[in-house]
Amino acid sequence: MNILKMLAKQNHLSVAFSFLLSLLFVANLQAQGWIDPENSKVSRVVYDSKAEAQQWLLPLGPIERIDGLWQPEQSRQLEGKLRRRTLEFRAENSEAGLFRDYEQLLKKQGAQLLFNCLGRDCGQSNNWANRYFNIYQLYGREDSQRLSSYFWQSGGQDHFALLYLVRRGNQRIYLQQELLSLASDLAGKAVLPSKEQVWKQWQSTGLLRLSQSTGQIDQQGILAPAWLKLISELIREHSKAKLDVVGHSYALPDSRSDAGPAAKAQAEAMLQALKAGLLAAGVPEGRIQLHNFENLAPLNSRVEGARLDLLLH
């Protein structure tokens, strides 16, 4: 009898321990935004993959043709632990409702929205499906597209996530979830593209856009030192290159004043800081022209407080 009681007690402990582990597992998934909502309507998981060390491009703009390649207008190159899932939903579901449910999972973790777009503003669905994701099921109606990119920190790591939703011609809805946990030695840092890559794109389009939404500019409008170094080296190496720098600021209006003066002052401070940095790095002053556009340029769907456009001529 004592043995039976002991076994029963051990069995209860085992069940309790297993239950505790399951709770910890769910909590960990929730912390990473990878658990489905309580009212999950997933009909099947089409793909689910993991990679311990993977390079990944986080989109921060609509997809378009740049130097012969289809890629996001802006992006951030990262490397770390990558998880990808492709989910299918039945036709009767609401695109907006599904997307909102999955966004809420990320927002509960304190995720910050870096970029979002809706419908045709995201670019062509065919290019997202076949040239960015390489998942044909994501080719659908362009007016149904939704895309959001996020960033948050937890457990001493930087996390980046992407959600992309589209409805196909057969009316089924597909959602792509991608989550990258940055390698610990890269925490807080963007992986810079090579000088050759930046120069090729910059020379091809004539425009290099640097913004707060990509982490290239901080909250005070100061360009990240790594980007300042890279740009200075490119201008010095290409002796004929001249630079028009256009500053944009979208400072929120004070309740007692118009936004214009604040935006103009912030844009001017950004421009002067960049110019000072370029001069200190050895770029001749005669090759730099500054233009303050304040908050006159439309933001479209980009989420940012300020940006610098560097135009070559």
Tens of pLDDT, residue by residue over 191-223, are: 567 788 788 878 877 888 887 766 678 777 788
pLDDT digit string (tens) for 11-22? 554 444 444 433
Per-residue confidence (pLDDT) for residue 302, from 0 to 100: 54
CB 160 within 8 A of CB 149: yes
Chain centre distance of CA 180: 11
| pLDDT-wise least confident of 75-89, 181-195, 232-246 | 181-195
Note the CATH architecture for domain 35-186. 3-Layer(aba) Sandwich (3.40)
Give the start-to-end residue ranges of the domains of the chain: 35-186, 195-312
- pLDDT confidence of 26, banded at 50, 70, 90? very low
pTM greater than the 0.85 cutoff: no
Contacts with 77 (C-beta within 8 Å, 6 or more apart), sequence order:
55, 56, 57, 58, 190, 191, 192, 193
Q: Do residues 151 and 159 lie in contact, with contact meaning Cβ atoms separated by under 8 Å?
A: yes
Report residue 303's pLDDT band, with 50, 70 and 90 as the boundaries: low
Q: Return phi, psi of residue 179, to 5°.
A: -135, 130
> What pLDDT sits at residue 299?
63
Token pair listed for 175: 């959602």
Architecture (CATH level 2) of domain 195-312: 2-Layer Sandwich (3.30)
